[in-house]
């Protein structure tokens, strides 16, 4: 693709992000949903106006954007914040993952899904979309204990989700008659390797950032941490989400001399998120929605029920306020990149299921990314922690 065309496309997408942001402010529609809808319209499922080869950038931009999100979410896991909301974060995140896996698996078996497919989908259903959740919180200018708990949950629940998916994948391999030892080893390597990379990057970053300019780490330091996490994790074949989150958690807890690294990332994160969400929408094929059938429809309905039930159950275990119990599950509906990654891993182990599995997960992702941000917004409004953005701007 020629350089002028690349620059024109990038410039146009950034302007689209500006328009989506303005529409979101005036109408309170989630800008994540608006960007995904634009991507659908601009991609092969719509007018197909994006240049040939531009979607090849999706993996690169998605890795950078999601590592930034993970680093910022790790910053929500401060000791002081966990001491205040840690019980609710832990109980709700664990309960939601357990309830999601159990309800989706049981429900799919009842409607006649094959055992192996039900196991794989139960694991994939545990994944969330921290990027969408975080952006809705920022757009709504939400603040309060529910918001802090929600951000803490989306920062950690994909860790439990990866563990649950790895366990269910081992069980599926055992059911299929294949040895599960290699799958267990791979799951342990992915989680352990990501944690190790996060520690290797986060520990030095916690000490050295902010030393060149006292109390004010420069932007290149913060970007260097994110790029190192993304690059090392991708090279090692482990979760860059988990690596970025671990690095962020270490910096926020150990770098007592500053907190600027997170602000520097926040200042430059949005352009990357625009590219990520637009290209995510462009990569989704609407025709897949017509092919997901009864099992796909059941997966969508069961996952929504499971998130709400798991959030309520976890909230009761944590003695959370009644409003938190009712709405935290609905705020955890968004699902995107992590689920697609899980589907690709599952497809590599079960090639005969790869195409139907990807079609189902992609179709469900379109649905969850369209309604999920709106439900997160609604949840923030119902618990009374949504800011009146229009009043503030006036």
- Give yes or no for residue 98 having a pLDDT over 70: yes
**Do 314 and 91 touch, CB atoms closer than 8 A?**
yes
Place of tokens 């794989």: 120
- Give yes or no for residue 199 having a pLDDT over 60: yes
Rounded Cα distance between 362 and 285, Å, is: 8
| Tally of domains in the chain | 1
Mean pLDDT, the chain, integer: 78
- Domain span holding position 303: 3-393
Place of tokens 């319209």: 41
Q: What is the structure's pLDDT at 286?
A: 64
Q: What is the structure's pLDDT at 394?
A: 34
Place of tokens 């040895």: 179
Neighbours of 324 (CB within 10 A): 22
Confidence of residue 390 (pLDDT cuts 50, 70, 90): very low
Rounded Cα distance between 255 and 202, Å, is: 10
Q: What is the structure's pLDDT at 106?
A: 93
Q: In this prediction, what percent of the chain has a pLDDT beyond 90?
A: 10
- Tell me the longest C-alpha to C-alpha distance in the chain: 64
| C-alpha distances in Å from residue 274, one per residue of 135, 265, 268, 270 | 11, 15, 11, 6
Rounded Cα distance between 225 and 180, Å, is: 35
CATH of residue 388's domain is: 1.20.1530.20
Q: In this prediction, what percent of the chain has a pLDDT beyond 70?
A: 81
Q: What is the structure's pLDDT at 142?
A: 81
- Give yes or no for residue 393 having a pLDDT over 50: no
Give me the mean pLDDT over the 340-350 stretch. 75
**Do 155 and 198 touch, CB atoms closer than 8 A?**
no
What is the distance of C-alpha 286 from the center of its chain? 21
**Do 136 and 373 touch, CB atoms closer than 8 A?**
yes
- Give yes or no for residue 102 having a pLDDT over 90: yes
């Amino acid at each position: 693709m020629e350089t002028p065309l690349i620059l024109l496309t990038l410039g146009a997408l950034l302007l689209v992000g500006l328009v989506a942001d303005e529409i979101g402010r005036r109408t309170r529609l989630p800008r994540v949903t608006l960007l995904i809808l634009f991507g659908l319209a601009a991609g092969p499922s719509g007018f197909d106006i994006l240049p040939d080869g531009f979607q090849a950038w999706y993996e690169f931009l998605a890795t950078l954007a999601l590592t930034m999100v993970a680093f910022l979410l790790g910053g929500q896991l401060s000791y002081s914040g966990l001491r205040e909301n840690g019980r609710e974060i832990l109980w709700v995140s664990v309960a939601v993952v357990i309830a999601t896996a159990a309800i989706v698996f049981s429900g799919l078996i009842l409607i006649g899904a094959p055992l192996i497919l039900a196991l794989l989908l139960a694991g994939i259903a545990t994944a969330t979309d921290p990027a969408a959740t975080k952006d809705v919180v920022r757009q709504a200018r939400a603040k309060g204990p529910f918001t802090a708990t929600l951000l803490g949950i989306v920062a950690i629940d994909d860790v439990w989700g990866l563990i649950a998916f790895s366990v269910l994948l081992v069980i599926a391999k055992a059911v299929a008659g294949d040895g599960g030892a290699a799958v267990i080893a791979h799951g342990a390597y992915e989680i352990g390797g990501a944690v190790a990379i996060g520690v290797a990057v986060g520990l030095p970053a916690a000490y050295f950032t902010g030393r060149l300019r006292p109390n004010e780490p420069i932007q290149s330091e913060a970007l260097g941490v994110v790029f190192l996490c993304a690059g090392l994790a991708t090279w090692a074949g482990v979760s860059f989400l988990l690596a970025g989150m671990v690095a962020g958690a270490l910096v926020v807890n150990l770098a007592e001399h500053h907190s600027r690294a997170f602000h520097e990332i926040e200042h430059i994160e949005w352009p990357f998120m625009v590219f990520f969400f637009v290209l995510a929408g462009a990569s989704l094929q609407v025709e897949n929605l017509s092919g997901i059938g009864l099992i796909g429809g059941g997966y969508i309905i069961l996952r929504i029920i499971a998130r709400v039930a798991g959030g309520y159950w976890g909230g009761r275990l944590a003695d959370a306020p009644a409003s938190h119990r009712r709405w935290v599950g609905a705020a955890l509906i968004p699902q995107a990149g992590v689920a697609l990654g899980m589907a690709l891993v599952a497809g590599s182990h079960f090639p005969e299921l790869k195409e139907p599995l990807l079609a189902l997960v992609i179709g469900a992702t379109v649905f969850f990314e369209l309604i999920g941000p709106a439900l997160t917004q609604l949840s923030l409004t119902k618990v009374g922690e949504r800011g009146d953005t229009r009043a503030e701007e006036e």
